[in-house]
Amino acid sequence: MTGSTWTFVKASWKGGSEFVVENRNGNRLTLVAKIPEGETPRHFTMVDAFISSLACCTGTNVLFLLDAQGIVPRSFTMKAECVFRHDEPRAFETIHLIFLVSADTDYEVLHNAILRSVTAICPIAVTLGRSVEITWELQMTKK
């Protein structure tokens, strides 16, 4: 095996479906499996956090690739649209990432950075892509 191993997080149950997750640096985040009926959402669900991690991982790698070329977008936003099976086996059927980018560069430069991030660099996307179809689109403006 060529990878490295270390503990990423510790999840401590706090009752109901609530867990407090602590990373290796001691930072904490509260996650819930579902929001109780009638309550105002205060925390991300575990599925929200999972998909957020995918979006942030792919987005960050795109930004790193652009930065290496001296490109700094004016704005960079991502959306994730998912089709999720509620029956068993519970799984994502598809995940579609939408990259909304405003930058002074060619479309092809952004396209290649996104393609590389989603298919080769982001470990979350690469691993997840082995079991679910991940598609993406780029919506670019040059304002």
Tell me the pTM: 0.87
Domain assignment of residue 36, given as a range: 9-42
Q: For the chain, how big is the Rg over CA atoms in Å?
A: 17
Assess contact for 126 and 119: CB atoms under 8 A. yes
Q: Does residue 2 lie in a domain region?
A: no
Q: What is the pLDDT of residue 37?
A: 79
Residue 135 is inside which H or E element, if any?
strand 133-141
Does the pLDDT value for residue 2 go beyond 70? Answer: no
What pLDDT score was predicted for residue 18?
87
Q: Is residue 73 part of a domain?
A: yes
Tokens of residue 109, six digits = 């430069």
Structure tokens at 86: 């509620």
* Residue 128's CATH number: 3.30.300.20
Q: What is the DSSP letter of 71?
A: -
Instruction: Please write the tens of the pLDDT for every residue from 83-134.
Output: 988 899 999 999 999 999 999 999 999 999 999 999 999 999 999 999 999 9
Q: What is the mean pLDDT of residues 4-25?
A: 85
* Rounded Cα–Cα distance for residues 53 and 55 (Å): 5
Same structural domain for residues 61 and 126? Answer: yes
Same structural domain, 83 and 19:
no
pLDDT tens per residue, range 70-95: 999 999 999 999 998 889 999 999 99
